[in-house]
Amino acid sequence: MTTFKRTDSGDTDFQNLVALLDKDLAIRDGTEHAFYNQFNKIDMIRNAIVCYADGKPVGCGAFKRYDDSSVEIKRMYVLPEYRGKSVGLSVVNELEQWAKELHYATCILETGKRQPEAIRLYQKAGYIQIENFGQYKNVENSVCMKKILPA
């Protein structure tokens, strides 16, 4: 059975999953990892989701306020053995629902060209590619996406 917990960056299960995410990204991003890592600190995240399968933490995601009407999806990760089982899509859906409850209208995110499975996940969830925003503006490896949340 799959369950979700709304939490924040102080949650141990969230922290443990993010540590695994950072290890994976360090390998994928190589020398660019330090650049991305500076934007991925989790100490101030107030909106995090942990997904549990039969009581085991198997996936996570978070968002932070980007502007008055938008949040930025961050720190998405699913354990390798649970990928392809809609865990990531479920986490995205839970994050979007929470953002809507807080009266946000849009979700944006940044992922990388070296994470093709993440790009496919977000496309499946209805995200479209947009011009790179903020600190990712001139970063060739970055792929920025957006979804307007249904009313």
Cα separation, 35 vs 12, whole angstroms: 25
Cα separation, 145 vs 132, whole angstroms: 8
Cα separation, 150 vs 1, whole angstroms: 27
**Amino acid letter at 9?**
S
What pLDDT, in 10s, does the model give residues 30-71?
665 455 555 555 667 999 999 999 999 999 999 999 999 999
Cα separation, 19 vs 12, whole angstroms: 10
Cα separation, 7 vs 117, whole angstroms: 25
The structural domains of the chain, ordered by start, are 2-148 (3.40.630.30)
What pLDDT, in 10s, does the model give residues 11-28?
999 999 999 998 887 776
What pLDDT, in 10s, does the model give residues 66-109?
999 999 999 999 999 999 999 999 999 999 999 999 999 999 99
* Dihedral angle computed from the Cα positions of residues 42, 44, 56 and 18, in that order, rounded to the nearest 10 degrees: 0
